Amino acid sequence: MLSTPTTNQEHHELDTMDSDYRQARDHPEGEGLLLSQGDEAVAAGKGNDPSVLRRLGISFFLFGLINNVLYVVILSAALDLVPSSTPKGLILFFNIFPSLIAKALWPYISKGTIRYGKRITAGLFLSVGGIAIVALFENVYARLFGIGFASFASGLGELTFLQLSTTYNPPSIGGKSVGYFASGTGAAGLVGALLWWEVRSLGVRTGVGISAILPFITPLTFLFLLPPSSAFSSSSSLGSGLYVSIPTIAINGEDQALLEPELEGETASAFSPPSVSSRVTLTGRDKWRLVKPLLGKYMLPLFCVYLLEYTINQGIAPTLLYPVPAPLEHPIVSKIIRSIRDYYPLWQLVYQTAVFFSRSTISIGIPPLPQKLIWLPGFIQLGVLIVLGLESATGLFESAGSIASLTAEGWEGASFAVVFLLIAIEGICGGLAYVNVFYHINQMPARENISPDIAMQEREFQIGSVGFADSLGILAASLLAMPTELELCKAQVRRGKMLCKAV
């Protein structure tokens, strides 16, 4: 909160306020930090307090977990939210298009200081409202409308927390923030799939309604658990030999003119104390200059991975069906697969488990992929899609026997086993692409000879603009998945396999 200093009542010059408003917001004492590139190790040492690092990791993990868990619950519940005759890709479309709008437009219409508390507040209301509509109404169109609300909140939240990670320096701390956030989003997939697996027997209204309490965890984490950026260091990567004064700001008539919200007409949030906006903001030309180098380097690989990944999840996986295993012959598998409708949630669970592991690689200390290998997950993903598509359409592995005819003597479960493995590989590729792209962007150095405030805005915009790529890939996949699912089912019927008609 901005308050009158108890000592040293002099007003700082406006130029100093413009460059230091972020540190002033988070650091109530009037101390100064002398930082340069050579001081990075010292600055990093400031944030090496295990308790502070632990709070940072838990906070960003929870941000990722809670932000994405409703999205995953809805996808996992796709078979139960709409009639069996409705393509599951329709759920995916309404679960991603509003998120795409948020990620595509918000970085460009947002100007100046990001008011993180205001965004978190808006996301809370949108998430809870959307999931309440899904739970309370049985009409398909009403549910799609509620899914859209939750989707917009998820997209805005992901954008916000990735941008928030860029406010933590030195780069090693920012990288940890991205790593833990990515790990949380991966855990959301696992938690969401498991949650729906457990509560689906309660019905859509109760099962989905229970998950509506989860979004309240985010503002509580933001308020009470997340350490301020000043707990680690100032922006050593944003300038060289920069003296960063961290004052407590007194407000007079001149200063008041600088207090303005992120977007014109917005009101202040109770979750975010007033902050001093910078006098300069990025123009449309500035933003195009920043995003252009990212198109082929990061955005296109991310788009391709997600296009292939969600085409598999929503277009092919619903058709990967096999007879229900007999309990006497297969006591373990039969406890998991009790009906044909259990296959799709199982594939989602396998996929989400693999995503969690791969998105957690950086947070558990595994080195990131080199930038030149960013395309590798996409190439592997293409191979997985081709093989799974052939299995669904032609029964590529069924000649070796189906799961229903498993015996101890032979390899009779080839179809089930290979599909299980390939879906796990699909999840690993998708998770690696996500965490490595955003990690590399978070680590990009700032331009030289620019003010710390402009450097911060550029970093926030760059990492925020790339999220558009994965959402666009998912949206394109939703359009491709609907005809893919229908055509694969027709191909199965032509060869006498009628299981897809019984789901």
Q: Are 261 and 118 in contact (CB under 8 A)?
A: yes
The DSSP secondary structure of 469-494, one letter per residue, reads HHHHHHHHHHHHHHHHHHHHHHHHHH
SS3 state of residue 481 = helix
pLDDT tens digits along 29-60: 333 333 333 334 434 455 467 889 999 999 99
What one-character DSSP code corresponds to residue 222?
H
Instruction: Decide the pairing of beta strands 32-35 and 242-245.
Output: antiparallel
User: Which segments of 28-178 are extended strands (E)?
Assistant: 32-35
C-alpha span between 240 and 234 (Å, rounded):
12
Residues 6+ apart with CB under 8 A from 118: 261, 262, 266, 268, 269, 271, 272
Q: Are 232 and 31 in contact (CB under 8 A)?
A: no
Q: Are 374 and 301 in contact (CB under 8 A)?
A: yes
Domain covering 49-233 in this structure, CATH number: 1.20.1250.20
C-alpha span between 456 and 501 (Å, rounded):
54
pLDDT for the residue numbered 133: 87
Residues 6+ apart with CB under 8 A from 225: 55, 58, 59, 62
pLDDT tens digit at each of 503 positions of the chain: 444 444 444 444 434 433 443 443 344 333 333 333 333 443 445 546 788 999 999 999 999 999 998 877 877 676 677 776 666 667 777 888 899 899 999 998 888 788 899 999 999 999 999 888 888 888 888 888 888 888 999 999 999 999 999 999 888 899 999 999 999 999 987 888 778 878 877 877 788 888 888 999 999 999 999 999 888 865 444 443 333 333 333 334 433 333 344 444 443 344 443 344 445 688 888 999 999 999 999 999 999 999 999 999 989 999 998 888 777 777 777 788 888 888 888 898 899 889 999 999 999 999 999 999 999 999 999 999 999 999 999 888 765 444 444 443 333 456 788 899 999 999 999 999 999 999 999 999 888 888 888 888 899 999 999 988 998 998 899 889 889 999 999 999 998 888 888 87
C-alpha span between 389 and 489 (Å, rounded):
11
**Range(s) of the chain covered by CATH 1.20.1250.20:** 49-233
Q: Where are the alpha helices (DSSP H) in 200-283?
A: 204-210, 217-224, 253-256
Residues 6+ apart with CB under 8 A from 92: 75, 78, 310, 313, 314, 474, 477, 478, 481
Dihedral pair phi/psi, residue 172, rounded to 5°: -60, -35
Using the CB atoms, write b or e for 287-324: b if 16+ within 10 Å: beebbeebeebbbbbbbbbbbbbbbbbbbbbbbbbbeb
| CATH class held by domain 282-502 | mainly alpha
Residue 55 buriedness (CB in 10 A; 0-12 / 13-18 / 19+): middle
